[in-house]
Structure 1
């Protein structure tokens, strides 16, 4: 009798898990998406530095995803402003094999990792020294967004106060970032007005060309960066969605993925509806999930470096 009960419970659990992979469109907010402010007088240039990929399955990226492999890009965004250069995201670094040892076993098992040219080496090839960078900004501090932090020691690392606390107290999720310390942290607050429907903002240059807003959920201090260029507006959304379908449909990650990576899945769910509405209201706006190579490949390349990639062992 006990065996039958356990078997029935197992079947129910597997069916419930399978249901979380089925297509389900999230409800949309009642209000329409907010409009971005007019294009500022000062705009910036943005380009993408590819540092590697993680081959994973669309099935894990959003509910209703196909059973097919996708290259999840580990990309950095180099932003040139008249006052200097900043970078968003750190991608894979030079010591990727060591960094992989901090990754949860299940994630290592489900994915293949390929290294490309680290950001620090691409900057060097472009003649840009670490001292020329005004700062390195991270949408959130998970291992696959911070590799360059170790390689660019001394460069100011800009984090908001909530995310700084998460780094200090986030346990295994932020252990890799803590291992890089001491770092030149520059802690900022969201001391600016509401922006694009978000309650507060931080204007990086003070001219509206790069504006950061809080979007807690994936991590407590996750952010979206709005980057205003002459041709397009870009929203760098980090891991609010892994692929653009998460915003376009909108659809959340399956339960297994949410369980591995999201601190507050309910808030992420609401964020996806909000980003969907924002995209619909602003034709110039390109939503950029950090890991969607189909989107990042439409942006200018930072440097014509070799795209040859080498597989990296995912086992410690």
Structure 2
């Protein structure tokens, strides 16, 4: 399979960011589910089984903390049973995001909310045990989740939640036309990347060391999409993406940034390397 043409590398300075000294990020892995590489990336093999990550990421900031996605919830088996049969697969469950937060002694009152990269089941399931935490969504994704068939699990787990709707400023950010600077210091910036779903987003995070992260959700399911410049297979683009052409455009934007920041596709376990865990996994529960 021929890869996408390599875009020119980003040549302008990276946006200014002034993260406070006590800002930090942690990964909260909640489980995995199995997917053949042939269904994940163009040119993949059915013999190559990928363990798709279902994780949350805690972003601590003195003005208030956020979770990026929610991972698997306590009732993940129920949520998987709500999916069409062709979407169900073998899965492994670890501790939920809430269980990991509580085990660390974390004060959940610090949480401003859960920012969903989009509303699909494997990003929203863990909302079922975070009832007292608001859900942050833009209007595009809120509408998508309320109307589309793939929002069934989200509609189930979001009952009773406060939903805080945020908007985007007409302020370009790294080639994306609109953005939302959460704390006003450039440390957490959300951009609209509405190809996978109409309100999909990428969350850019800069930490005090100067390291930059791009949590790209399902723009690509695996790092192959960035490193090998490959899209999802044709059938999966048709089934999974609202606007495949927009996904391709945004994927090329991220490929142009490769090497300048740590790009994290939500479902690639390898992408979380180097991000510390909030608490060690109990013995017998490696992920």
Give yes or no for contact 1:77–1:87 (8 Å, CA) kept in 2: yes
List structure 1 segments (4+ residues) > 3 angstroms apart after TM superposition: 28-35, 307-310
Contact 2:182 2:190 (8 Å CA) reproduced: yes
Please identify the structure whose Cα radius of gyration is greater. 1
Alignment of 1:213 onto 2:191:
yes
Contact in 2 for aligned 1:211/1:227 (Cα 8 Å): yes
Instruction: Give the SS at the match of 1:146.
Output: helix
Corresponding residue of 2:154: 177
TM-superposed CA distance for 1:83, in Å, is: 2.1
Q: Which runs of 5+ in 1 are unaligned?
A: 1-22, 311-316
- 2:119 equivalent to 1:141: yes
SS at match of 2:274: coil
Q: Does 1:42 align with 2:20?
A: yes
Partner of residue 3, structure 1: none
Counterparts of 1:253 and 1:268 in 2: how far apart (Å)? 10
Alignment equivalent of 1:293, drawn from 260, 269, 285: 269
Q: 1:34 to 1:53 in 2, by over 3 A?
A: farther
How is 1:153-232 mapped onto 2 (pairs within 5 angstroms)?
153-170=131-148, 172-180=149-157, 181-191=159-169, 193-231=171-209, 232=211
Question: Closer, same or farther in 2 for the Cα pair 1:128/1:287, shift >3 Å?
Answer: same
In 2: Cα distance, 1:183 partner to 1:34 partner: 41
Aligned to 2:43: 64
Q: What whole-Å deviation, never above 9, does each CA across 1:32-63 have from its counterpart, x for those lacking one?
A: 46542134253631110010001212222111
> For residues 84 and 204 of structure 1, what CA distance do their matches in structure 2 show?
10
In the aligned structure 1, how far is the partner of 2:79 from the partner of 2:13?
40
RMSD (Å) for aligned C-alpha atoms? 1.9
Task: From the two aligned structures, give the one with the greater helix fraction.
Answer: 1
2:240 corresponds, among 256, 261, 286, to 261
Q: The residue matched to 1:155 in structure 2 has which SS?
A: coil
1:33–1:278 CA contact under 8 A, matched in 2: no
Cα separation, 1, equivalents of 2:219 and 2:130: 26
Residues 268, 131 of structure 1: alpha-carbon distance in 2 compared, 3 angstrom cutoff:
same
Cα drift, residue 129 of structure 1? 4.3
TM-score by length of 2: 0.92
* Partner of residue 9, structure 1: none
> 1:73 pairs with 46, 53, 58, which one?
53
Aligned to 2:219: 240
Question: Gaps spanning 5+ residues in structure 2: where?
Answer: none
May I ask how many residue pairs the two structures share in their alignment?
282
Q: Write the distance in 2 (CA, Å) between the matches of 1:297 and 1:307.
A: 20
**Equivalent residue runs for 1:59-138 within 5 Å:** 59-66=38-45, 67-108=47-88, 111-138=89-116
C-alpha separation in 2, matches of 1:34 and 1:54:
39
Shift of 1:89: 0.6
